[in-house]
């Protein structure tokens, strides 16, 4: 087996033990004579898979009883519309914070549905920081506040949970979910596309407080109504069965590792290897401001676009894949999600040192 270190922002690495388990089950899942990919979602075998997945996720994130867990399709981007359709229903107002491209997309989508106010934006400094928000910054009569908790493209993350008072806080956690413990009770809703830290692309996880379900706008497509999905146990139609199965295996992997406290410890250590090196030299420049650095997406540049290009290409040849920064930012981005082993980051730093030595700046 010749595995590369895949630094892709998504879809991204899955833990090897999970792939091994999935491979072992591929022809005959637990004596069923078929794989989970071929199985009806109405069978008791699949019912057990989806229920176990939910139980494991509730356990890992300590999700209270008064929250529903939904396993949906459409990616995080579909939630950009589903959130206003379901939640912008009392005063027809919502407050948004822009800290990168995904939060901007969410903001633009929500504008179709009501009075959407931009509370703050970090675009003035190319999204290298997170605005400090106080309760007074939000409209008390907004139906919800929307933030993107970890900004995949820019490599920043909220280092605090905004206090929105009684207004429900909705967070896109696509690129940081399950990387560390999070106090779910501080949020009205959390959503995440699975392909960064959980499973293959095709699954979106929604964690939503009960009182926010059941008041969707009348013109909400039935598939986007959280009530439909909650009542149907995420099986109103065919769910993304295979992705849910892999998610279950990932949840088991996390549990065996010691849960999210243990995962956080590992992630802190892993990110520090890269950030400590970036701070110790002046060949590479870390893109994000220090207090807001993401533990999952590490962005950096050499300051010379030609060297950046050479770096990404030579890194690829040496087994460090997909390290080129997002096309809107340039430079490099090392996405070091849960499944990236510590050795991957250690070896990347060795490669960075070697590249700096071999390519002095003119
Ligand atoms: C990847 C990503 C998205 C888009 O996810 P899709 O599942 O492709 O729609 C949205 N938000 C964040 C924070 C992301 O990282």
Three-state DSSP class for residue 348: helix
Number of neighbouring beta carbons within 10 Å of residue 38 = 13
**108 CA distance to ligand 1 centroid (A)?**
15
Q: Percent of the chain beyond pLDDT 90?
A: 98
Instruction: In whole angstroms, give the CA distance from residue 104 to residue 355.
Output: 35
Q: Are strands 115-121 and 5-6 parallel, antiparallel or unpaired?
A: unpaired
Three-state DSSP class for residue 119: strand
Supply the pLDDT for residue 329.
83
Supply the pLDDT for residue 198.
98
Instruction: In whole angstroms, give the CA distance from residue 55 to residue 61.
Output: 10
* CB 227 within 8 Å of CB 236: no
Residues 6+ apart with CB under 8 A from 245: 22, 36, 49, 53
Q: Does 294 contact ligand 1 (Cβ within 6 A)?
A: no
Which letter does DSSP use for residue 337 in this model? -
Instruction: In whole angstroms, give the CA distance from residue 62 to residue 198.
Output: 17
In the chain, what are the domains? 16-256 (3.40.640.10), 259-358 (3.90.1150.10)
Task: Report in angstroms the alpha-carbon separations of 326 from 84, 276, 297, 343.
Answer: 28, 23, 11, 24
Q: Whose CA is nearest to atom 5 of ligand 1?
A: 76
Residue of 348, 328, 318 whose CA lies nearest to 336: 348
Among 77, 192, 243, residue to substitute to test ligand 1 (most atoms within 8 Å of Cβ): 77
Determine the atom of ligand 1 nearest the C-alpha atom of 175: 15
Task: Report in angstroms the alpha-carbon separations of 296 from 57, 127, 165, 270, 327.
Answer: 20, 16, 29, 9, 18
**145 CA distance to ligand 1 centroid (A)?**
18
The pLDDT confidence band at residue 92, using thresholds 50, 70 and 90, is very high
Question: Quick one: average pLDDT of 142-148?
Answer: 98
Instruction: Let me know if 235 is exposed, middle or buried by CB neighbors in 10 A (0-12, 13-18, 19+).
Output: middle
The pLDDT confidence band at residue 328, using thresholds 50, 70 and 90, is confident
* Residues facing 98 on adjacent strands: 121
**77 CA distance to ligand 1 centroid (A)?**
6
**How do residues 19-65 score in pLDDT, each as one tens digit?**
999 999 999 999 999 999 999 999 999 999 999 999 999 999 999 99
Q: Does 172 contact ligand 1 (Cβ within 6 A)?
A: yes
Instruction: In whole angstroms, give the CA distance from residue 294 to residue 268.
Output: 10
**How do residues 214-265 score in pLDDT, each as one tens digit?**
999 999 999 999 999 999 999 999 999 999 999 999 999 999 999 999 999 9
Q: Does 8 contact ligand 1 (Cβ within 6 A)?
A: no
Instruction: In whole angstroms, give the CA distance from residue 179 to residue 186.
Output: 17
Three-state DSSP class for residue 282: coil
Q: Does 300 contact ligand 1 (Cβ within 6 A)?
A: no
On the question of pLDDT at 121 being above 90, the answer is yes
pTM: 0.98
């Amino acid at each position: 087996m010749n595995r590369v270190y895949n630094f892709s922002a998504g879809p991204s690495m899955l833990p090897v033990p999970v792939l091994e388990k999935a491979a072992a089950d591929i022809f005959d899942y637990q004596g069923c004579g078929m794989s989970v990919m071929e199985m009806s979602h109405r069978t008791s075998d699949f019912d057990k898979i989806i229920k176990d997945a939910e139980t494991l996720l509730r356990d890992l994130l300590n999700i209270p009883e008064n929250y529903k867990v939904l396993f949906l399709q459409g990616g995080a981007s579909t939630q950009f519309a589903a959130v206003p359709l379901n939640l912008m229903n009392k005063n027809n107002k919502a407050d948004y914070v822009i800290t990168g491209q995904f939060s901007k997309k969410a903001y633009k989508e929500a504008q179709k549905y009501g009075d959407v106010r931009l509370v703050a934006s970090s675009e003035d400094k190319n999204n290298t920081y997170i605005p400090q928000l106080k309760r007074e910054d939000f409209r008390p009569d907004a139906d919800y506040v929307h933030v993107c908790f970890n900004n995949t493209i820019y490599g920043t993350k909220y280092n605090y949970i905004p206090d929105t008072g009684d207004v429900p806080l909705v967070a896109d956690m696509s690129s940081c979910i399950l990387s560390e413990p999070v106090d779910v009770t501080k949020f009205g809703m959390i959503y995440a596309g699975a392909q960064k830290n959980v499973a293959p692309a095709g699954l979106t996880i929604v964690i939503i407080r009960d009182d926010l379900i059941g008041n969707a706008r009348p013109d909400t497509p039935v598939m986007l109504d959280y009530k439909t999905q909650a009542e149907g146990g995420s099986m109103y139609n065919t769910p993304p069965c295979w992705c849910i199965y892999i998610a279950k295996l990932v949840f088991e992997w996390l549990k065996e590792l010691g849960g999210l406290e243990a995962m956080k410890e590992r992630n802190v250590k892993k990110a520090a290897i890269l950030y400590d090196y970036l701070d110790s030299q002046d060949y590479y420049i870390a893109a994000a401001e220090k207090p807001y650095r993401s533990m999952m997406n590490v962005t950096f540049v050499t300051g010379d676009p030609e060297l950046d290009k050479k770096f990404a290409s030579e890194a690829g040849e040496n087994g460090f894949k997909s390290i080129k920064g997002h096309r809107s930012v340039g430079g490099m981005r090392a996405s070091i999600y849960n499944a990236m082993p510590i050795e991957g980051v250690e070896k990347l730093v060795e490669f960075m040192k070697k590249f700096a030595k071999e390519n002095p700046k003119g």
